[in-house]
Amino acid sequence: MKNRLIKKISAGLAVVLTAVTLTACGDSSRGTGESENCEACGGCSDNGTASGGSTSASSSSDAGSAELINVDFAVASSGYGGLLPVIAAYGNTDEAVGLNFVLQNVGTASETLAAIESGKVDVGGFSAPAPLLSIANGESNLIIIGGQMSDYESLIVLPENKDAWSGELTAELLAGKTIAVNRTNSGDIALRAYLAENGIDLSIINYVELDSGASVVEAVKKGSADAGIVNGGFYKSAEESGLVNVQFIKDIIGKDFICCRQMVSQADFDKNRELYVKVEKALILAYEIYRSNPDLAVELGAQYITSEPEDIRYIVYEYGDLGLSPDPNLAGIRSYYEGMKLSGYIDASTASRLEGYLEIGRSI
């Protein structure tokens, strides 16, 4: 049995299991924290590998009345976007609903997709663009059951360019400029969609698509790019390199945008829907801890996340850009999908194929 670090807290939150559902999730904005994201949704690690997670094998509950059901959960250990399942695993909100989250350190979106599709893990949270692109192409056998994180993206420039890039991003400013990005980066897509919606021809901008956030930081530092877009996993390294996080993408576009969603196999969900309902209930309980008890959330997170507790606290609670929530945010998904069409990631003529992949968000 796992160490019950928060037995009295999870017991006190048990009422949430009957009071909170995801029936109304998805059309709200900042009220739930979902809109208050990542290549891997964990600081967007570029090199995660599968490994044993935080929990033990199947064990009995406190009352000894039932065996816990193991759920293999893909969570990067190198960042902060997977904090809710970490809190659930180490804070025992998984046990509160009869589950045992076994965290697997699968570090990138492609690895996470492959792990779920192969059955190596049961649930994975990862950057939205990759699965949405698969859905658009009619290739996905995964569905979205919940949210994980939002926003968590910033525009970085050299200090001498701060003033020019601190205001509105006009066509006059952007014409001929080079912006370094990672392809399928959520902040890049959100910003391109915003610019297109506001009548800016994206062809006037020279986008350079690089392999990692570190490469984006280096390109801006060397001056080979006028600006770059990085996720929160690179905020600190950008500043240490002498760059300025000049504007959060959410502030530029004037709204929050989705990043990582929780995905599962359609076939597995059809076979055991109740299991995944319990997964979301465990994450809702973890969300309550994240919102109400930052000290405990940081303590629990530090048992799995490979950052110092002060760094976890800084990014999660103080920097001001990371939103965590199990809310699937259906409206946000639809808006983001249309943004991918506007920005050229999905062909503009592609019909929406989302509904069959989002019904879980309505029915839990």
CATH (domain of 94): 3.40.190.10
Give a yes or no: residue 117 inside a domain: yes
2, 59 Cβ separation under 8 angstroms: yes
29, 325 Cβ separation under 8 angstroms: no
In this structure, the strands spanning 227-231 and 99-104 are unpaired
- 65, 168: one domain: no
Per-residue exposure over 298-335, b if at least 16 CB sit within 10 Å of its own CB, e if not: bbbbbebbebeeebbbbbbeebebbbbbbbbbbebbbe
- 108, 201: one domain: no
Return the CA Rg of the chain: 20
**C-beta neighbour count of 153 within 10 angstroms:** 29
- 264, 341: one domain: yes
* pLDDT score at 355: 74
234, 213 Cβ separation under 8 angstroms: yes
Give a yes or no: residue 203 inside a domain: yes
The structure tokens listed for 19 are 């009071």
Give a yes or no: residue 193 inside a domain: yes
Measure CA 263 to chain center. Answer: 11
This prediction has a pTM of: 0.80
Give a yes or no: residue 2 inside a domain: no
Domain boundary among 253, 281, 302: 253
In this structure, the strands spanning 244-248 and 153-157 are antiparallel
- 307, 327: one domain: yes
- 222, 342: one domain: no
* pLDDT score at 359: 54
13, 93 Cβ separation under 8 angstroms: yes
Give a yes or no: residue 133 inside a domain: yes
Domain boundary among 227, 253, 279: 253
Give a yes or no: residue 86 inside a domain: yes
pLDDT along the chain (364 residues), means of 10: 44 39 36 37 36 36 68 92 96 98 86 88 87 84 91 96 96 98 90 96 97 95 97 90 96 94 91 94 98 98 96 90 93 92 88 72 44
- 62, 133: one domain: yes
- 147, 289: one domain: yes
CA distance 327 to 338: 20
Structural domain count, the chain: 2
- 90, 190: one domain: no
CA distance 97 to 278: 6
Distances in whole angstroms, Cα of residue 279 to Cα of each of 80, 116, 150, 282, 291: 19, 15, 20, 5, 18
- Helix and strand element counts for the chain (H, E): 17, 12
Give a yes or no: residue 309 inside a domain: yes
Calculate ∠ Cα 341-144-352, nearest 5°: 30
- 119, 268: one domain: yes
The structure tokens listed for 347 are 């062909």
Domain that holds residue 282: 7-151+259-363
What are the helix (H) ranges across 228-315? 235-240, 249-253, 266-271, 273-292, 294-301, 309-313
Domain boundary among 204, 229, 253: 253
CA distance 224 to 201: 22
**C-beta neighbour count of 218 within 10 angstroms:** 17
* pLDDT score at 353: 77
In this structure, the strands spanning 206-210 and 178-182 are parallel
- 43, 171: one domain: no
* pLDDT score at 275: 96
Sign of the dihedral through C-alpha 314, 318, 324, 330: negative
- 34, 110: one domain: yes
Calculate ∠ Cα 163-169-172, nearest 5°: 95
- 265, 216: one domain: no
Give a yes or no: residue 1 inside a domain: no
